[in-house]
Each structure stands twice: as structure tokens, then as C-alpha cells.
Structure 1
Amino acid sequence: MLTRRGERFFTYEEPLRFFGVELGRIMSVIRLSSGGLFVQSPAELTPELKGALDELGEVRFVAATSKLHGHLYMEQYREAYPDVELLAAPGLAARRTDLRFDHLLGDVPDPRWSTDVDQVAIDGHRWLTEVAFFHRPSRTIVLGDLGFHIDESSPLKTRLVARGFRMYRRLSPPIEVRHTIANEATFRRSIRDVLAWEFDRVVPGHGTIIDSGGKRAVLEGYDWLLE
């Protein structure tokens, strides 16, 4: 069920339909140096998935990427793993008042995972702050809605919608994100902070994983911001 992508880095993909369009969603699982698991954008915790996770290690941290992306099913992990810590992206705690969060994510990684994982809060958008993660051992960055990657492997309807939103066959956010940036300098600085990491692989929030050449993909996908 889990696909190994690199040193101590795994992914799990499941369907996700949004307004009738199949986008898919990707969960990332990092086995920390401590042996515990850091889960980003948790998928529905089926018995099969729980078994696969338990074979890897103990689920210690479950993180959402933003208040809109990656928070579904967090309650299932709280119930299944009493000692788990739920990590809230900016704005998520106010949206998910049904959950008790243990940590608020920002620019500075917690020492318990900072040996393996770095993070950047991508600021400057009008209503969305997203936390990007970098797993050093596998040279992988993990994005959310600021990193769609829809290519020819997606269904026809998805490809057509992606063309309309100017994000087909490129790592990019939907076009409306460009038009709702509140502070372009801050947003640009955040993307440059991501590009400062030495990564090769990109796990997007939706679409196809880029296993190699990820830094070039980010540069090309954000050429409208960085030029």
C-alpha cells in the first residue's frame, strides 16, 4: 500500500473528487531518525493502511499542509494512536474546532523532527498560508495546493480543467492563486526559501509525483513569480 520513494520516505495515493473532477491526493510518510513516523496529509485510516503504517513504526506526528489541505481524517489518527500529536497549519485550529491540536506549524521545525525534516510557511497569499516540508535524507519536498502537477496520466476531464487553470504539465497552483496574492514580495521570498533546499523529488498535493528534476519543475512552474 505504501510506495517507497527514497531513504525512509513513503507515499500513499488515493482518489479525491472535487466538483466532479478527479484530482487524487497524496499522503507522505517519513520514518524519522527516532523511529517514529511523521505523516503529512493523512489518508483515510483503513485497516489495511493502519497495518502498513504499523509495520513501519509508531505514528507520532500527523501534519496538515494548510487550513484547506491535508486535515481530513486527522480525527481517525487521534482515535487510533492515543499518543499521536496533531500538527495544525496556520488557520486550521479555528476551522477544525472539533480537534485538539498539539502544535502550530510555522517556519521553524520542532527539534523532534528537525534532524530529518525542515519546513517553510509560504506567506503572502490573501487567505492561504501553506507549510512546505523538506525531507533531507530523500531530498524530497512535499507541497499542498500550491503544487498541483496534472499530466497526461490524469483523466481527460481533469486534464481539460488543468489546461483552463494554466497548470497542465507544470508544477503550479491554480491560476486564481496568482490573482489573490496579497504581498507578492513575501510570497516570492517564501518560494525562494523552498528553492534554497537541495531537493530533487517533489510530492505535489494533487497529481503526479516528480521523482527527479523537481527543482527545475518548481522554477518553471513559478516563472511568473520569479522572473
Structure 2
Amino acid sequence: MLTERADRLWTDEEPLTFFGVELGRIMTVVELSSGGLFVQSPAELTPDLQRALEELGDVRFVAPASKLHGHLYMEQYRAAFPGVELLAAPGLAARRLDLQFDGLLGDTPDPRWSADIDQVAVDGHRWLTEIAYYHRQSGTVILGDVGFHIGPSSPPKTRLVARLLRIYRRISPPIEFRLTIANEDTFRRSIRDVLAWEFDRLIPGHGEIVETGGKQAVADGFDWIL
């Protein structure tokens, strides 16, 4: 269920099929210095997952990557964990009118988690702004749809589609995302902000986790904009 990747860092990898293609999705859990849990891109809260989280600590913050990635099950966490705060990525509040959010995510981390997690708003796309996260202690960057990483362990159909979208064995968004960037300078600056972090591990929104060499993988995957 939860895999420990480093001290105070866990992931949960779940299947996700999109238009018949298995992409997988990854939830990341960080234990904060305060003892609470920061959950990024929450997975469906099954009884087993809820028990696993409760064993780690109190779920304090639940955050998506963007208005499209990592918000589908947020309401389950509000129902299950008293006192949890749901955080909105840019544009998400307008999409999820059924939810009351407790904060808006941007370039600056909240002081309640800034000692453990930094963040950057990856901006410049025509209709999507994504929040990239950096877990300081473990040297880990956490992405969403900006960072696909489809590798050889994926099914044959997924690998074929990934090659067509130029995300096979690369940390990168699909080709259609690249073609709809409205401000290349702003997007380039956002990726350089990510690369300014000292990280080795890279947790993508979909696909395979890069346990080492993540910084070079990001630089290689975004060579088309850098």
C-alpha cells in the first residue's frame, strides 16, 4: 500500500486507465516536522489506505498538483480526518464548487510546511498551472502531469502511446502540452526554478519513480524548452 522511499517520505502507486491506456498514478505522503502528514495527489481513500495513513500520523494537509491532477478524492479525506485542510491549486476552486478549500497554493509554501516542503508554480501554459513540490530532507521532487515518466515496465500499449507522445523513458509532459505553452519564457523560468533545488529522486505524476539521477532526468526531459 504505502512504500517508504526515504525517512518521512512514502508513496502509493495506483492503477489509472485513461482512454484505454494504463498510465498509473502516484500519491506522495510526507511526514512534517510538526508530526502531521502532507498528502500530495491523494488516492482513493480505501479502508486499508486510511488505516495505513492513521498509523503514520494525523493527515493535516491534502494538496493536488493542479486543477486536473490529484483532486478527485479530496472530499473523502475531509470526511475521514477531522481538522484536515484541503488546498487548491490554481483554477481548482472553480472546478470543484462542491468543496470548500482552506488555502490556495502558489509559489510560496505555507510556514506550516515550508521547513520540510518547498514549492514552485510551473506556469506559462495556456490553461494549466501546476505546483511542483520539493521534499528537502530526502532531496525529492514531486510532479504531476508536467512529469510523466513511462518506462519499460508499462504494458506494450502504454509504451507505444508514450513513444508517440514523447514521454517514453523521459521526464516530460505529453507533446500536446508542449504545443500549447503560451509563454515559453515563463515556463522555462519555472523549470529552472525546479532545477535549482538539490534533488536526486523524482516522483512523477504517472509512470515510474526515478530513485536516483532525477535532476539530470529533468534537465534531459525538458531540453526542448531549456
TM-score (norm 2): 0.99
Aligned partners of 1:151, 1:103: CA distance in 2, in Å?
35
Matches within 5 A, 1:36-47: 36-47=36-47
Runs of 4+ in 1 over 3 A off after TM superposition: none
Percent of aligned pairs with the same amino acid: 75
CA deviation map 1:22-69 (0-9, x unaligned): 000000000000000000000010010001000000000000100000
Who is 2:150 aligned against?
A: 150
Aligned partners of 2:177, 2:109: CA distance in 1, in Å?
26
Q: What stretches of structure 2 of length at least 5 have no aligned partner?
A: none
State the Cα RMSD in Å.
0.5
Could you tell me which amino acid in structure 2 is paired with residue 199 of structure 1?
Answer: F
Could you tell me which amino acid in structure 2 is paired with residue 37 of structure 1?
Answer: L
1:212 counterpart = 2:212: yes
Aligned partners of 1:61, 1:28: CA distance in 2, in Å?
12
Could you tell me which amino acid in structure 2 is paired with residue 137 of structure 1?
Answer: Q
How far apart are residue 72 of structure 1 and its match? Answer: 1.1
TM-score (norm 1): 0.99
Matches within 5 A, 1:43-192: 43-192=43-192
Aligned partners of 1:195, 1:139: CA distance in 2, in Å?
12
How far apart are residue 82 of structure 1 and its match? Answer: 2.3
How many equivalent residue pairs? Answer: 226
Could you tell me which amino acid in structure 2 is paired with residue 213 of structure 1?
Answer: G
Q: What stretches of structure 1 of length at least 5 have no aligned partner?
A: none
CA deviation map 1:190-218 (0-9, x unaligned): 00000000000000000000000000000
Who is 1:201 aligned against?
A: 201
Aligned partners of 1:210, 1:42: CA distance in 2, in Å?
20
CA deviation map 1:91-148 (0-9, x unaligned): 0000000000000000000000000000000010000000000000010000000000
